[in-house]
Amino acid sequence: MPESDMQTLTIIQPDDWHLHLRDGDVLKSTVPQAARQFHRAIIMPNLKPPVTTTEKALEYRKRILDALPSGSDFEPLMTLYLTDNTSPEDIKRAKESGIIHGAKLYPAGATTNSDAGVTSLDNCIATLEEMQKQGIPLLMHGEVTDPSIDIFDREAVFIDRVLIPLRKKLPDLKIVFEHITTREAAQYVSEAEGYIGATVTAHHLLFNRNSLFQGGIRPHYYCLPILKREENRQALLKAVSTENRRFFMGTDSAPHAQGAKENACGCAGCYTALHAIELYVQAFDEIGALEKIEWFTSINGPKFYNQNVNRNKITLVKKEWTIPQDLPFGENRVIPLMAGETLNWQLK
């Protein structure tokens, strides 16, 4: 149970089960910011070029570890980027390495750096069977790419067109439905048979689609899956704050340089790794559910991934602070979510 006296909140140290750190120079800031809060993180493989092999993941892991502040015990949990050409041998190799904790499905064209992603799951059945056999979870960006489907419906349609048929074929495949944003997804994950979990971001708990157009167009609130109607936000809040153990924290912190967001064709992704835990605490506090937060932030995720729950604890204090306007990002700047706005809780 979290310890709380209204002015402080102490919880088991959280992990981030969905994080983009990017690569190169920017690791100098993205890695320490994540390591300040989390013990472990599932590292997304959508680099340019993507992390498609265990060898590439080992090299990327080393670059991440090299960017850690000395004394940090942060552990990057690596993932493979599935393509039409990922083979069952690639999966065996990943399992043997001991460093790969999932393989990521990006439907081709669905989101940032997904062009090399899977064009049809039919091309991957042998590979997915091997994942099922080896116990490697399939992490999914769950949106259909059919341009005739409205952007606000792409997640719900994915459940019927892709997820349910896939789970009929491979009922023992472990699945994480990443960054869910709809009532339909929350309900499906709550009730479905078998081994399935879902991550939920802080921004989908805090904001609905009105935030995209508050007094003008707001590129820093644009991410995929796109923010939805309020009723969906309410369904997500309910899912993460009830006793269901299938929902866990995954920030989907996805930094893009300021100029790539504030652009005629701006990139999708919100940067939250600086202040993720404070954002989640704010969301739970707003619905009076702080006593439920620890399952979501610190327990359900490790249990899903067969990892130990962390031993360390973190403490937040009830104290207003202002989110910085921008942050270093290699040679550029990145704008954190809610830049310049106030949060009520601060990590000690």
Nearer to ligand NCD, 104 or 183 (CB): 104
Which listed range, 58-66, 109-117, 240-248, 273-281, lies at the site for ligand NCD (CB under 6 A)? 109-117
Please identify which residue in 198, 224, 239, 273 interacts with ligand NCD, judged by CB under 6 A: 224
**Burial tier of 248 (Cβ tally within 10 Å: 0-12, 13-18, 19+):** buried
Residues numbered 253 to 272 that lie near ligand NCD (CB under 6 A) are 254, 268-269
Name the helix (H) or strand (E) containing 228: none
256 is in an annotated binding site: yes
228 interacts with ligand NCD by CB under 6 A: no
Please identify which residue in 11, 13, 20, 228 interacts with ligand NCD, judged by CB under 6 A: 20
Which listed range, 106-114, 186-194, 258-266, 340-348, lies at the site for ligand NCD (CB under 6 A)? 106-114
Q: Are 29 and 333 in contact (CB under 8 A)?
A: no
41 is in an annotated binding site: no
Active site positions, annotated: 252
CA distances from 216 to 206, 207, 210, 219, 275 (A): 19, 16, 10, 10, 25
46 interacts with ligand NCD by CB under 6 A: yes
Rounded to 5°, angle at Cα 110 from 104 and 113: 65
258 binds, among ligand NCD, Zn ion, none (CB under 5 to 8 A by kind): none
Q: Are 218 and 198 in contact (CB under 8 A)?
A: no
16 interacts with ligand NCD by CB under 6 A: no
Give the position of tokens 């992490």. Answer: 139
Give the position of tokens 């309900």. Answer: 187
- Say whether 314 sits in a helix, a strand or coil: strand
DSSP code of 113?
T
CA distances from 171 to 136, 168, 178 (A): 14, 6, 18
Please identify which residue in 37, 79, 83, 111 interacts with Zn ion, judged by CB under 5 A: 111
Residues numbered 146 to 205 that lie near ligand NCD (CB under 6 A) are none
Q: Which residues lie near ligand NCD (CB under 6 A)?
A: 20, 46, 111-113, 141, 223-224, 252, 254, 268-269
Q: Which residues lie near Zn ion (CB under 5 A)?
A: 111, 141, 252
